[in-house]
A and B are shown apart, each in its own frame.
Chain A
Amino acid sequence: MNIVVCMKETPDTTAEKRFTADLRLDRAAVAGVINPYDEYGIEEAIAQKEKLGGELTLLCMGPARAEESIRKAMAMGVDKAVLISDPALEGSDLIATARVLAAALQKLTFDIVIFGQASTDSNAGMIVTAVAELLGLPALTWASKLTIEGGKATIKRSHETGYDVVEAPLPCVVSVTQVINEPRYPSLKGIMQAKRKELTSYKLADLGIDASSVGSAGAGSKVEAANRVTLTRTPEIFKDADRAALYIADYLEKRKLI
């Protein structure tokens, strides 16, 4: 079973984010981390590989410094990685990113491609089916459980009132949600081994993609204005636990909330 897992490096979610002059996220100003959702994808890919054998490759499009996050994933158990890094890619949108990932995937051999449910900086969650569309593959999305068996993949897909069991033949594309597993921490041995694992770097030209069709110039939408939201609440603190129920009920009634 050959597995590819897609990982994006995203800005540390707890850090204060800023915009560049042309209203894009200033990535250089904030430390990068493995997209928190992709930790679940990486864990799932490692666990499936441990169970089924084969090779696990990580695929990332991002700046050169993403190597740090890639090494972390290698320390967790990823075998090798491909990083697509090119200045022309800065500001790429959904379509451009999907085209780059799909082109790289066509150079790799895989039975299944695993994604996180979304990247925390975009909160889009759309790359997954965009890549599936480009590769002509079925997509099993928002999985809370994944079983690979008998030439097919089966997932549990939760929705508002329950869940669906959904299956597709291999090869296919899967995205996983945070409930699917508990990502492991790298072991000391893993960290040592990670340093020597194979990392292949591609430029756009290696994938046969024209630089003018990606990046911010090729993007389908642009930000016109951005404003910091400051929430101005003046908290009222009530400490008399014995009278609390009455007090809350009054509070709700006064504001016509009951």
Chain B
Amino acid sequence: MATNNEILVIADLTPNYEPKKVTFELLSKAAELQQAGGGSVAVLVMAPDPAGLAQKLGEYGANKLYAASGDHWNKEVAGGAADAVEVAINVSNPRLVLAVASINSRDLAGRLAIRLGSGVLWDVTDVKDEGGKLIFSGPIWGGSYAVSSSFTHDGNAIALVKPNSLTATKREGAAAAEVVPLNVERKTKGATITDSVQEASAGVSLEEAATIVSGGRGMGGPENFKLIEDLAAVLGAAVGASRPVVDAGWRPYRQQVGQTGKTVKPKLYIAVGISGEIQHKVGMQTSETIIAINKDPDAPIFGFADLGVVGDLFKIVPALTEEIKRRKGIAG
């Protein structure tokens, strides 16, 4: 099936329907890819007032905005969204669909792959046009290999891109995206959200954080994570954890870094009381700078940290927090 020369971006929104940074990253990449061939960039917005985002998304490269209105989208699990994305793909018939590599997108892509026969690539970190052929690159097997892949069939193809791997470029003075309303009928058999519990404020997520401070079993107990939180606060960082800490219920699963948790790539990763076993390592080894604090000089983490500090975390971490406060001029 021949496609139109359009790239469709699925906007990733916060629970308050604000675009997340990754939405701008995806749009900027789509605009870059379309620049050469003169194709258009469209964005699907599922929100109560999609048109309200037309200016903002236009500034990052969206020419067209497919509007799926409704105030139910953040109460939906991916089933409902799959119906909207299917309609958008049918209207747009894009050569490529770009979405964030999240659990919701994975759920969406599973259904759409079947409905539309689309090829799917996930955990993508870059897309390049090589002589008319799109080449997708990304890490596999915990970052031990970098692969580049392509789609084998013409037709709608879906790529799920990791947050923070592309650059968002704002075009000052760009026109607002043209709004195209969609009529979405529900056809996915429902799973219904009956309750929604907020446990944390909508701060930066681990995957989007520029700095992460992670605590491991060396923290000794949930109450001591106050030390990690204080250090994270002065650094503007997100809090991470190793798996035993999550298994013990000291921290929520969404904070787990590693093979069975999240893969992160911040500018700075501080590992506190974490031994650095392979399953933890694969989730954070591509961080730009790694600092480890551990009292065991033989801890594996010292083999792949940029700076390894041997010593008692209960002394070092509070002192470090105070020192950074002092340098930043934050009142104690």
Contact = CB atoms under 8 A, between A and B. Distances in A.
Nearest to A95: B113
A158 B206 CA distance: 14
Given A124-B122, A162-B196, A253-B327, A248 B144 contact: no
A64 interface: no
A154 B194 CA distance: 9
Query: For chain B, which range describes its interface: under 10, 10 to 19, 20 to 34, or 35 or more residues?
Result: 35 or more
Nearest to B311: A241
Interface string B175-211: 0000000000000111111111111111001000001
Contacts of A225: 147-148
Instruction: Please classify the interface of chain A as helix (H, G, I), strand (E, B), loop, or mixed, using the class held by over half of its residues.
Output: mixed
A168 B193 CA distance: 9
Contacts of B297: 237, 239
A141 B107 contact: yes
B191 A138 contact: yes
A129 interface: yes
Interface in A95-112: 95, 98
A229 B144 contact: yes
A120 B259 contact: yes
Given A164-B196, A238-B308, A221 B320 contact: no
Interface in B97-114: 103, 106-111, 113-114
Contact of A94 (B120, B316, B320): B120
B143 to A, nearest CB: 6
Interface of B: 15, 77-79, 82, 103, 106-111, 113-115, 117-123, 135, 139-141, 143-153, 157, 188-202, 205, 211, 235, 243, 246-247, 252-254, 259-260, 267-268, 278-279, 285-286, 289-291, 293, 297, 302-312, 315-316, 319-320, 322-324, 327-328
A167 B149 contact: no
B305 A233 contact: yes
B152 A129 contact: no
A144 B123 CA distance: 23
A130 B205 contact: no
Interface stretch (A67-75, A81-89, A171-179, A189-197): A171-179
Given A95-B114, A237-B308, A238-B310, A168 B259 contact: no
Given A139-B107, A166-B191, A224 B254 contact: no
Given A94-B113, A133-B110, A222-B149, A245 B323 contact: yes
Interface string A216-258: 0001111111111101010111110100111111011101011
A123 interface: yes
Contacts of B247: 179, 182
13 contacts: A123-B122, A125-B103, A136-B189, A138-B79, A159-B103, A160-B200, A165-B196, A178-B260, A179-B247, A237-B308, A241-B309, A241-B311, A249-B320
Contacts, number: 260
Given A157-B77, A220-B118, A241-B315, A126 B306 contact: no
Contacts of B147: 23, 223-227
Query: For chain A, which range describes its interface: under 10, 10 to 19, 20 to 34, or 35 or more residues?
Result: 35 or more
Contact of B197 (A93, A128, A163, A227): A163
Nearest to B145: A226
A224 B150 contact: yes
Listed residue (A120, A130, A167) with the most chain B CB atoms within 10 angstroms of its CB: A130
A31 to B, nearest CB: 15
B120 A221 contact: yes
Contact of A13 (B110, B118, B121, B259): B259
A219 B260 CA distance: 26
Contact of B114 (A98, A125, A142, A163): A98
Contact of A129 (B78, B211, B253, B285): B78
Given A37-B260, A137-B189, A162-B197, A220 B152 contact: yes
A129 B310 contact: no
Contacts of B306: 233, 235-236
Nearest to B159: A221
B97 to A, nearest CB: 13
A23 to B, nearest CB: 8
Contacts of B267: 257
A121 interface: yes
A17 interface: yes
B324 A258 contact: yes
Contact of A172 (B191, B285, B305): B191
A139 B190 CA distance: 8
Given A134-B114, A220-B118, A125 B254 contact: no
Contacts of A222: 149-150, 152
A117 B6 CA distance: 32
